């Protein structure tokens, strides 16, 4: 008769074998794709659809395959977004975007008034100006997932609304400085306001050299989950930097967050190197997130190693290996992610 320990070890070995078999299949599929692309001519991407009036249609779709140690292995259509941009008048333009995979489907709905390079006005639903990764489209990220602190602390992402909110901002560029300041409902995208308070957000950027940029972000708000709830403190402070030296790019951000009496924080650093210019990129990333500074042993660290193969424009294949560990260096989850993105 087998003991309980032996049966448990047997189950673990079967699970490990299953995971590695999935990993092997994904890696083989990737190799086939690379080999196929090597013998197939990649046609240049078609120009964006334009009508007689200055209207532009664009979009992208992401299909993700995931093999995970602590979750279900799956294939999913992660996003399918379409955007329409139009120059309504000489100094007025609008943008509307939807995601066919999400409910509600509206992502952006905004109008810009341009007075000069130094002064522009935007209103509607759009990104809350905070940091660099939160306001970067998922189509343009170097890794498949955003860093933990950005997903959990950046305004609009901390409440699950894509980093967006309804409001208005004034933004522009003056010499080596760029700025973006605004007022928002604070309840997130596609939601009515839940209290009489308004939230304030802003980012000041500095680019002293072509290869170096730094930024400082601030968010002051009061959040109520539903109408009638007492508004709670929701403050964020962030610093960011980006260094570009030829084919090598380094990015980093640090975020401090205060929700009621809870102090949370996190940071990440990411490095990317194009082995083949604009074609093949290696990526390494580390991020750390502490959901309550006052409590011990609740920080999680995420290690990511990645490879990006860009076919043309926004069409690319991304492969990421992620290892999530807790403060005691114990592995919480491991995942192999393969994402195909096609865009126009």
pLDDT in tens, 242-251: 999 999 999 9
Contact 242, 132 (CB under 8 A): yes
Listed by start position, the domains of the chain span 42-343
Token pair listed for 262: 């809870």
**How is the chain split among helix, strand and coil, in percent rounded to 5?**
15, 55, 30
pLDDT at 53: 60
pLDDT in tens, 188-208: 999 999 999 999 999 999 999
pLDDT at 331: 86
Alpha-carbon distances of 128 from 7, 179, 249, rounded to whole Å? 52, 13, 24
**Distance, CA of 125 to CA of 165 (rounded, Å):** 5
Candidates 79, 49, 45, 70; CA nearest to 340 is 79
Contact 68, 335 (CB under 8 A): yes
Alpha-carbon distances of 76 from 62, 63, 80, rounded to whole Å? 9, 6, 11
Candidates 317, 338, 336, 334; CA nearest to 325 is 334
Counted residue by residue, the chain has a size of 344
**Distance, CA of 70 to CA of 334 (rounded, Å):** 7
pLDDT in tens, 136-161: 999 999 999 999 999 999 999 999 99
**Distance, CA of 95 to CA of 55 (rounded, Å):** 10
Q: CATH number for the 42-343 domain, one of 3.40.50.150, 3.40.50.720, 2.40.160.10, 1.20.58.710?
A: 2.40.160.10
Low-confidence ranges of the chain (pLDDT < 70): 1-53
Phi and psi at residue 162, to the nearest 5°: 65, 20
Helices (H), the chain: 4-38, 148-153
Contact 266, 147 (CB under 8 A): yes
């Amino acid at each position: 008769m087998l003991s309980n320990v032996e049966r448990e070890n047997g189950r673990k070995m079967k699970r490990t074998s299953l995971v590695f078999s999935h990993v092997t299949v994904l890696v083989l599929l990737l190799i086939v794709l690379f080999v196929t692309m090597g013998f197939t001519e990649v046609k240049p991407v078609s120009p964006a659809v334009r009508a007689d009036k200055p209207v532009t249609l664009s979009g992208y779709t992401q299909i993700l395959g995931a093999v995970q140690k602590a979750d279900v292995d799956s294939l999913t259509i992660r996003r399918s977004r379409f955007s329409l941009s139009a120059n309504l008048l000489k100094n007025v333009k609008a943008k509307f975007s939807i995601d066919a995979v999400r409910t509600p489907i509206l992502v952006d709905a905004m109008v810009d008034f341009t007075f000069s390079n130094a002064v522009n006005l935007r209103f509607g639903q759009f990104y809350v100006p905070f940091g660099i990764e939160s306001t970067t489209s998922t189509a343009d990220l170097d890794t498949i997932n955003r860093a933990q602190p950005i997903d959990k602390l950046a305004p609009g992402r901390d409440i699950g609304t894509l980093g967006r909110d309804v409001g208005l901002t004034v933004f522009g560029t003056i010499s080596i400085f760029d700025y973006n300041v605004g007022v928002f409902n604070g309840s997130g995208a596609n939601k009515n306001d839940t209290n009489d308070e308004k939230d304030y957000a802003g980012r000041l950027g500095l680019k002293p050299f072509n290869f170096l940029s730094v930024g400082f972000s601030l968010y002051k708000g009061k959040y109520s989950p539903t109408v009638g709830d007492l508004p709670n403190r929701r403050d964020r402070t962030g610093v960011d930097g980006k260094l570009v030296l030829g084919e090598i790019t380094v990015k980093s951000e640090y975020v401090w967050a205060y929700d009621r009496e809870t102090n949370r924080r996190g940071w990440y650093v990411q490095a990317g190197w194009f082995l083949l210019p604009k074609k093949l990129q290696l990526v390494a990333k580390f991020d750390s997130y502490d959901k309550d500074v006052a409590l011990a042993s609740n920080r999680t660290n995420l290690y990511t190693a990645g490879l990006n193969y860009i076919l043309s424009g926004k069409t690319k294949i991304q492969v990421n290996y992620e290892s999530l560990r807790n403060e005691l260096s114990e592995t919480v989850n491991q995942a192999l992610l393969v994402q195909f993105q096609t865009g126009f």
